[in-house]
């Protein structure tokens, strides 16, 4: 799927889905760290399969406790949500994931959008005045698993993984 074509929402993607309740309790949408988005389903499944082989399914992520303002994440020209807040993260195997994803995009930039700054989004909005912030009690180590995500819905609560 070409990035020039209209993608609904964030299309399909590959996430690290947070399985740890330390963060999940106060976020209504699936708590995740985007690896890539704006993909078609076949490309997302292919990336997932390749990353699963390279890095495995289970991951440890270090999550910063300060809720930051995010604007224009760089996923696309027509961001579904232009204002967000959340927590920056360090992914245990990020350099391997980044190298592989960037290599794929080098040869075909239409495969999707890579997330250069791993983060968990706390709040999505198109209005900067509606952004909410909530710091965590401390920095956290979180258990995550690699998944494929259907992120086409306009409401983040309805995003699904498989």
Q: Does any domain span residue 5?
A: no
Q: Which CATH number covers residue 77?
A: 3.90.1140
- Which residue range forms the structural domain that includes residue 119? 12-161
Q: Does any domain span residue 3?
A: no
Q: Does any domain span residue 61?
A: yes
* Dihedral sign for Cα atoms in the order 39, 45, 46, 47: positive
Mean of all residue pLDDT scores within the chain: 91
**C-alpha span between 89 and 91 (Å, rounded):** 6
Q: Does any domain span residue 36?
A: yes
Q: Does any domain span residue 7?
A: no
Q: Does any domain span residue 70?
A: yes
**C-alpha span between 23 and 65 (Å, rounded):** 10
Q: Which of 80, 77, 85 is nearest to 129 (CA)?
A: 85
Q: What is the pLDDT of residue 6?
A: 66
pLDDT digits (tens, 9 = 90+) for 68-104: 998 666 676 677 888 899 999 999 999 999 999 999 9
Q: Does any domain span residue 101?
A: yes
Q: What backbone phi and psi angles, to 5 degrees, belong to 47?
A: -60, -45
Q: What is the pLDDT of residue 62?
A: 97
Count how many domains the chain has. 1
Q: Which region among 22-26, 97-101, 124-128 has the lowest average model confidence (pLDDT)?
A: 22-26
Q: What is the pLDDT of residue 76?
A: 67
Q: Does any domain span residue 118?
A: yes
Q: Which of 31, 30, 48 is nearest to 159 (CA)?
A: 30
């Amino acid at each position: 799927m070409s990035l020039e074509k209209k993608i609904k929402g964030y299309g399909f993607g590959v996430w690290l889905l947070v399985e740890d309740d330390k963060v999940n309790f106060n976020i209504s949408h699936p708590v995740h760290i985007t690896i890539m988005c704006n993909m078609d389903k076949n490309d997302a499944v292919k990336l997932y399969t390749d990353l699963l082989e390279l890095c495995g399914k289970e991951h440890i992520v270090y999550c910063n406790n300060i809720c930051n303002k995010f604007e224009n994440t760089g996923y696309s020209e027509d961001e579904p949500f232009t204002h967000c807040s959340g927590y920056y993260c360090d992914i245990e195997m990020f350099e391997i994931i980044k190298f592989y994803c960037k290599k794929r995009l080098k040869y075909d930039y239409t495969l999707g959008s890579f997330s250069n700054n791993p983060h968990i989004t706390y709040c999505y909005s198109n209005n900067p005045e509606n952004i909410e912030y909530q710091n965590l009690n401390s920095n956290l180590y979180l258990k995550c698993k690699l998944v494929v995500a259907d992120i086409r819905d306009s409401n983040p609560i309805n995003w699904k993984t498989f």
